[in-house]
Structure 1
Amino acid sequence: MLVLGLCMLPFNACAQQKFTISGTVTDAQTGENLIGATITTIELKQNGVVSNDFGFYSLSLPTGTYNVQISYIGYTTVNVKIDLQKNTILNQTLNSANALNEVVVKGTNAPANENISNPQMGLNKLDANIMNNVPVLLGEKDILKTIQLLPGVKSTGDANTGYYVRGGGSDQNLILLDGAQVYNATHLFGFFSIFNSDAIKDVSLYKGGMPAAYGGRLSSVLDVKMDEGNNQNYHFEGGVGLISSRIKAEGPLVKGKSSFMVSARRTYADVFLKLSGDSSLKGSSLYFYDLNAKLNYKLDDQNTLYLSTYYGKDNIGLKDNFSTNWGNSTASLRWNHIYNSKLFANTSLVYSNYNYAINNLSDNNVFNVASRIKDLSLKQDFTWFAGARNKITFGADITRKYIKPGNIQSTPTAIYNSTKIEDRSADEFAAYISDDMKIGSRINLVYGARLNWFSLRGPGTFNTYDVNGVITSTKTYSSGQSAQDYLNLEPRFSANYTINEANAVKASYNHNTQNIHLLSNSTAALPTDIYIMSSNNVKPGIADQVSLGYYRNLQHNQYEFSAEVYYKKLQNQIDYKNNAQLLANENVESQLLYGVGRAYGLELYLKKKYGRLNGWIGYTLSRVENKFDAINNGNYFPARQDRTHEVSFVGIYQLKPRVTLSAVFVYGSGNAVTFPSGKYKVGGVTTYYYSARNGYRLPSDNRLDLGVTFDGKLHKKYHSGWTFGIYNVYNRKNPYSVIFKDTKDSPPRTEAVETSLFGIIPSVTWNFKF
């Protein structure tokens, strides 16, 4: 009995002694950290771990001799024999298959199957091969257009980079660039994204089972990480396309310890406008540019500093009459510290800014509109590798938010009156904890919670409105005084049951809240979109999502198949009253309606990861419905992002070592739209009467895109190549919108006119690297 009692003491005193293998996994050629590398042993495969966002890992094992296997997609697997008698540091470099002139990584070198053992659901990671070869509009490689090809993700419009995830609104997606929020991730009204693929290292999209470290949005997280730069050698690369050019430089500041990366991109449609014979076009502008930069410095084996910045701007102008410009700027300063083999910390100071301005200088209608949203955040994250079967992540962050909703300066004859809307500010604090726990050899749980406190601050005057938009009370608050507070607990849970090495079932639940809200009457990302904060009138958005999935691997892990079903309940959703005035309206909250929503669906996904052919086939069957008391007689109606069926096919085929073929096919059933059910005339002007909201459907759309890439001869120091693409190969006129107009017949008839954006569009890009 005494022996039994001793064995029940904390820390398993009678258990076999354990030690830790820890370190970082890096690219042998560039020195960059490898995110998500798998570290396991041949003897105890169930105890494998993956490297974190900074390449760090920690693996606890009983004393003994092990064959440690380190693997990563696109890299050769390394086996290291270790006699574990004490805590051991193993920093490992991996060779890229491309660096070894290998066409593919063979199935036998495939990493241990993380998607089977990991309880994380709804996670899609994009690898460089897919991002760089998917054919897109005008040959401009685009992360956002690529994720739209995944099941559960819907485009806001043909060729538009805006997207919906599992029924949520386009503003309900958290987009991060090296930890900094991006509020408008589009260029040229949504046709291109701000992400220059040359500067991007890793892309992860979370559609469900959102980790507790993320918060502030209801539907998804898109976590984009920039390239760190090569700390071994200097490299330059870039490309020249039909509408833009780009260039990237990287190299060591201190070889093996510090590196830099700078990447720039600019369109030049404005250059061609100057060649026009039309004087109005000759003086017009139409361009965007962006700049990415990143520095890192390894102080010692325990400390590394990272500095990331982004700056981008759009400028569109019509000679001297009209102009609009908008842009994002972000900066992230991060400090990694390894306390010991089991405790890893990351401290971040993050800045984000988005602003736009509209200037109209036409005769008798001179006005200027300006708006801005800005964040400053301090965040502390910890990862504690508590044991072989427990990994605990915890942390906290505090953010000061500032919004300039939109001021108008105008002349007396302008269509807009001069308006000065009060600025708004708020503090948001969050703390989280999550435990990734393995139970036996088959069950893995991740459970935790996030506590969010939001405080709307003065100075300012705050109105309260009734359901008719009438002011019922007004209060004034001084600087720093709390005008409205919300405290929300957000539980998160994921579970995985591994049936065998190739099959698993998973389940997840998460509760999310959102305190920042986008007001827009358009599906496209326009610079006139405005943001407001939760207030006494606008409650935080709430989403509860439950997911269940089956996962299977085929043919030695070369194929991954998954089937996920989900149900999402949405509360405190926003819509607009008829003829709502959103732009520069100091009483904009009086124009809003509040309701609920629900979304549910099935997602099928078959992905091929290895071999000459890579890509996936995706299918989504879904329904998205909203309910507002003042719309559709208080009954549920289809949301504008409701599309019943969507199919995507993505294929990348390595025909020869220097020739890559690519194809994309998409099909989607028609979007929900509202058509008039009658009309009447007032003062000779036709006015349409609308009944059921989104009671009709546009025709289905489909499109085929093709591409081919020719890599030039791979010289030791320099090589170049060409990429040719055809967007919308068979010139399908996909419906973008429908307008109604009266014919000139007597009596006039009303006809529906369907509009589309793009027909067949060829592209060519010259790429170089040295």
Structure 2
Amino acid sequence: MLKMMIPRSWFRMLCLTLLQLGALTYIAAAQGKFTLSGYVKDSLSGETLIGASVAINGRGKGVTTNAYGYFSITLSEGSYEVTCSYTGYESRKQTVLLNRDQSLNLFLSPRITTNAEVVVYAKRRDGNVKNAQMGKIDLSMNQVKSLPVLFGEVDVLKTLQLLPGVRNAGEGNAGFYVRGGGPDQNLIMLDDAVVYNTGHLFGFFSVFNSDAIKNTSLIKGGMPAQYGGRLSSVIDIAMKDGNMNKMEMEGGIGLISSRFSIQGPIKKEKASFIVSARRTYIDALVKPFVPSTSAFYGSGYYFYDLNTKVNYRFSDKDRLYLSGYFGRDVFDFRNNQRSFGANIPWGNATATVRWNHVFHRKLFSNTTLVFNNYNFAFNGTQNNLSFNVSSGIRDLTAKFDMDYYPSPQHKLKWGAMVTHHTFKPNLVSGRSDTISFEPNNAQRKFATESGIYVQDDWEVSDKLQVNAGLRFSTFTQIGPYTSFVTDADGNKLDSTSYGGTEQVKTYGGLEPRLTVRYSLNDASSIKASVTRNLQYIHLVSNAGSTLPTDLWVPSTLRVRPQLSWQYALGYFRNFKDNEWETSVELYYKTMENQIEYREGYTPSLKDPEEEFVFGDGWSYGSEFFVRRNRGRLTGWIGYTLSWTWRKFPGLNAGEKYPARYDRRHDLSVVATYELNRKWKLGGVFVYGTGNATTLPERFYIIGGVLTQEYSRINQYRLPAYHRMDLSATYTPIPRKERRMKSSWVFSIYNVYSRLNPYFIYYDQEGSPYDGSLKVSAKQVSLFPIIPSVTWNFKF
């Protein structure tokens, strides 16, 4: 199947590359060089550590572990001192006599935090200067959990929104925009499974349970060739594997939700598992206050998540992972006076099977199979009438990736993938008494997406490092599908039918990726990158954020894939032995084939494609970042100055206009202070230019009805957004005989109760007939000051 979806010339090229690289392995061995390889792990839990540093002292050589904690380095015969380090863990030194190929598993012990040493997230403290990769940040869950959040719900996506170049979609929203791109242009993965809807409670919370997450990586510039299908960024989230050595339970009880996780060995040092669950109880808290006589009795809302993972190590060369996620939001609405009811469930389900195999100490492979399903439904009833509307997307994916370490100067990676997509935009059915309404669902669409890539992380010299990659991707819309020819009024004149798996339309192209780092000295460097990205699926929204009613649609005969070029240049400098790190990055990005609904669009049963208009976009800006990594006071300041534009021939009279997520100034100040062994304080301040918006400028009375004439698109700005959040974490010092550890997190969201604008609406008073009509603009705000408390436990 994979060979069929990738051009034969590319398939032959990949096979030839594999043979050549295999030959290089034996040539290197014959020249008196040997390979040291293995895994870096947590000494207590056995969890592999992603991005740990393995350095050869005195040689200026080293390597970082891959996404599965594996490393490999080839050196000449001799004795070496190896230092392994990872933030939050004690460094480990070990002398190795390398006179043959050797396996070495390195176990690091978690560091006991003291007042003099507090470290924020960064896998290597000098990684921002030494690595060629631009715009990549790794998040530690310990840092995420110490920051104040809405309703005490720890949220990794909210923390990402505090970084320069990443802006939020609005008050409390889980949607976000990176360097001028839309919310659909972010590739968000959980254990290699794409997550299409990241928000609970209509986007106010993210779907990621912090207790189940091991590592989160954000890449907002210079995207490596292994990632594809999106224009703006990658968020790669890895779940915990499960404690290999002992049973462990943890959780938390908050104001609106609780969570619980259990993990432990199935067979010590061979197999482990983790199960993590979270559920809100808003429905249970509100229900006692709604009398049974109320017209809205029976209404309610809740969401839940379930993360599971099992892994088994067959040998030092083979390991199998099975992981899954299932989450749902359920909203029930009842109006008993009008005999109306609605049930609105939506959510994601993913399942991932991964097999790691070490072909050779220098050659590491990962084979992945992924099932993923996102679905939104609206089920309504009124008297004897029932109807439902559903939309969603379902994927089946196969991936194959290989890491090859021919020498300390090169780290090669290559692979291929194929995905079968099923899109379900606006499927409608209904029933009235004994009469059923079930259309033929002609809007269901099918497609196959494939890709092949190769990249090399090449250390040319002590000063120059290059990360170069090339990706080739294709996207084919396949049948069954019927294409219609319509007149100006939308009447169908002719049609063309395509059978099952018959090709309807194919797109594809090359996606070169290049990042260069030049070291000025040990503490500073300059980096530059250029990337070309293709995106074949699109999220079309009639609102300013990712809501469950937004539609995922594929590239088709009418809809072309999105295309972007991004150029970035940055200066990176660390001070005081990497205690302080700073950076300035400039970027410019062009985006083609952007999609919006036409002016005056209203939802209907028509194919959504008939309501689209197409245009271009571009964005540019600068990002400033200062972070302190050590000491009692840690944190960062991030500032972004940016412009984001759109231009559509069919919108705004063809003139350019600012995108709704254009934000001129964006500032975040984040701080954590270790008061003593028991108390840790946290604070966040954010400021941002108000969102661009379209407002009515004139009002007319036509036939006794008030009619509005709107301004040009996004001509006005809402008031600036700003707020301050504070938190205090109390961790009692446990008695030695007690296994359970606990902490209390007290937080205040929006300390000075700033009423930030959510949207503006116009209210009418009086009558147009006696001249007393008054129209006034009113602002809707969501959250005033909100205190919360959460009790966390672990044993």
Q: Name the structure 1 match of 2:542.
A: 521
Q: Name the structure 2 match of 1:756.
A: 781
Q: Secondary structure at the match of 2:549?
A: coil
Aligned pairs for 1:51-450 within 5 A: 51-98=65-112, 104=117, 111=124, 113-278=126-291, 279-319=294-334, 321-363=341-383, 366-410=386-430, 419-422=439-442, 423-450=444-471
Q: Name the structure 1 match of 2:607.
A: 587
2:662 aligns with one of 642, 647, 655: 642
Moved more, 276-285 or 367-376: 276-285
- Deviation track 1:564-604 (CA, whole Å, cap 9, x = no partner) reads 11000000001111222345x33321111100000001011
Cα offset, 1:16, TM superposition: 7.5
Q: Name the structure 2 match of 1:768.
A: 793
The amino acid across from 1:502 in the alignment is: A
The answer to whether the 8 Å contact 2:390/2:426 transfers is yes
Moved more, 338-347 or 467-476: 467-476
For residues 542 and 471 of structure 1, do their structure 2 counterparts lie closer, same or farther at Cα, with a shift above 3 Å needed? Answer: farther
Separation in structure 1 between the aligned mates of residue 27 and residue 439 of structure 2, nearest angstrom? 69
Q: Name the structure 2 match of 1:476.
A: 497
Moved more, 440-449 or 14-23: 14-23
The reply on whether 1:606 has 2:619 as its aligned counterpart is no
Separation in structure 1 between the aligned mates of residue 541 and residue 384 of structure 2, nearest angstrom? 27
For residues 370 and 755 of structure 1, do their structure 2 counterparts lie closer, same or farther at Cα, with a shift above 3 Å needed? Answer: same
Separation in structure 2 between the aligned mates of residue 473 and residue 488 of structure 1, nearest angstrom? 32
- Deviation track 1:186-229 (CA, whole Å, cap 9, x = no partner) reads 11100111100000010011111001111111111111110111
Separation in structure 1 between the aligned mates of residue 39 and residue 116 of structure 2, nearest angstrom? 26
The amino acid across from 2:441 in the alignment is: I
Q: Secondary structure at the match of 1:557?
A: coil
Q: Secondary structure at the match of 1:124?
A: strand
Separation in structure 1 between the aligned mates of residue 490 and residue 618 of structure 2, nearest angstrom? 26
Separation in structure 2 between the aligned mates of residue 748 and residue 475 of structure 1, nearest angstrom? 55
The reply on whether 1:719 has 2:741 as its aligned counterpart is yes
The answer to whether the 8 Å contact 1:443/1:498 transfers is yes
Cα offset, 1:406, TM superposition: 2.1
Cα offset, 1:462, TM superposition: 1.8
Moved more, 585-594 or 418-427: 418-427
The amino acid across from 1:19 in the alignment is: F
The answer to whether the 8 Å contact 2:38/2:106 transfers is yes
Aligned pairs for 1:466-505 within 5 A: 474-505=495-526
For residues 277 and 256 of structure 1, do their structure 2 counterparts lie closer, same or farther at Cα, with a shift above 3 Å needed? Answer: same
**TM-score where L is the length of structure 1:** 0.94
- Deviation track 1:247-299 (CA, whole Å, cap 9, x = no partner) reads 00010011111111100000001112220243344412210001001111111
Aligned pairs for 1:556-571 within 5 A: 556-571=577-592
The answer to whether the 8 Å contact 2:175/2:546 transfers is yes
Separation in structure 2 between the aligned mates of residue 281 and residue 77 of structure 1, nearest angstrom? 60
Cα offset, 1:87, TM superposition: 1.9
Q: Secondary structure at the match of 2:614?
A: strand
Q: Secondary structure at the match of 1:275?
A: helix
Task: List gaps (5 residues or longer) in structure 2.
Answer: 1-23, 335-339
Cα offset, 1:18, TM superposition: 2.6
The answer to whether the 8 Å contact 1:465/1:537 transfers is no
Separation in structure 1 between the aligned mates of residue 467 and residue 493 of structure 2, nearest angstrom? 46
Cα offset, 1:467, TM superposition: 9.4
- Give the alignment's Cα RMSD to 1 decimal: 2.3
Q: Name the structure 2 match of 1:555.
A: 576
**TM-score where L is the length of structure 2:** 0.92
1:41 aligns with one of 46, 56, 59: 56
Q: Among the aligned pairs, what percent are the same residue?
A: 44
The answer to whether the 8 Å contact 1:189/1:524 transfers is no
Separation in structure 2 between the aligned mates of residue 136 and residue 92 of structure 1, nearest angstrom? 36
- Deviation track 1:457-511 (CA, whole Å, cap 9, x = no partner) reads 1012023679997768632100110011011111111110011110000011111
Q: Secondary structure at the match of 1:548?
A: strand
The reply on whether 1:629 has 2:642 as its aligned counterpart is no
Moved more, 125-134 or 215-224: 125-134
Q: Name the structure 2 match of 1:3.
A: none
Moved more, 27-36 or 552-561: 552-561
Cα offset, 1:359, TM superposition: 1.6
The amino acid across from 2:163 in the alignment is: L
Separation in structure 2 between the aligned mates of residue 565 and residue 417 of structure 1, nearest angstrom? 55
Cα offset, 1:559, TM superposition: 1.7
Q: Secondary structure at the match of 2:675?
A: strand
The answer to whether the 8 Å contact 1:410/1:418 transfers is yes
Q: How many residues align?
A: 756
Separation in structure 1 between the aligned mates of residue 683 and residue 307 of structure 2, nearest angstrom? 29
2:552 aligns with one of 514, 517, 531: 531
Separation in structure 2 between the aligned mates of residue 174 and residue 719 of structure 1, nearest angstrom? 36
Q: Secondary structure at the match of 1:146?
A: helix
Task: List gaps (5 residues or longer) in structure 1.
Answer: 1-8
The answer to whether the 8 Å contact 1:97/1:103 transfers is no
Separation in structure 2 between the aligned mates of residue 562 and residue 343 of structure 1, nearest angstrom? 35
Q: Name the structure 2 match of 1:4.
A: none
2:706 aligns with one of 683, 686, 691: 686
The answer to whether the 8 Å contact 2:87/2:119 transfers is no
- Deviation track 1:655-689 (CA, whole Å, cap 9, x = no partner) reads 11121111010000111111222222232221211
Q: Secondary structure at the match of 1:656?
A: coil
For residues 684 and 70 of structure 1, do their structure 2 counterparts lie closer, same or farther at Cα, with a shift above 3 Å needed? Answer: same
Moved more, 466-475 or 259-268: 466-475
Separation in structure 2 between the aligned mates of residue 468 and residue 37 of structure 1, nearest angstrom? 62
The amino acid across from 2:222 in the alignment is: G
The answer to whether the 8 Å contact 1:325/1:358 transfers is yes
The amino acid across from 1:725 in the alignment is: S
For residues 762 and 92 of structure 1, do their structure 2 counterparts lie closer, same or farther at Cα, with a shift above 3 Å needed? Answer: same
Q: Name the structure 1 match of 2:47.
A: 32
Q: Name the structure 2 match of 1:5.
A: none
The reply on whether 1:740 has 2:780 as its aligned counterpart is no
Q: Secondary structure at the match of 2:144?
A: helix
The amino acid across from 2:773 in the alignment is: P
The answer to whether the 8 Å contact 1:23/1:90 transfers is yes
Q: Secondary structure at the match of 1:167?
A: coil
The amino acid across from 1:563 in the alignment is: V
The amino acid across from 1:533 in the alignment is: P
Separation in structure 1 between the aligned mates of residue 413 and residue 289 of structure 2, nearest angstrom? 59
Separation in structure 2 between the aligned mates of residue 515 and residue 385 of structure 1, nearest angstrom? 32
Moved more, 55-64 or 721-730: 55-64
For residues 110 and 122 of structure 1, do their structure 2 counterparts lie closer, same or farther at Cα, with a shift above 3 Å needed? Answer: closer
Q: Name the structure 2 match of 1:596.
A: 616
Separation in structure 2 between the aligned mates of residue 203 and residue 110 of structure 1, nearest angstrom? 11
The answer to whether the 8 Å contact 1:632/1:692 transfers is yes
Q: Secondary structure at the match of 1:274?
A: helix
Cα offset, 1:612, TM superposition: 2.2
Separation in structure 2 between the aligned mates of residue 718 and residue 649 of structure 1, nearest angstrom? 34
Separation in structure 2 between the aligned mates of residue 618 and residue 10 of structure 1, nearest angstrom? 45
2:33 aligns with one of 4, 8, 18: 18
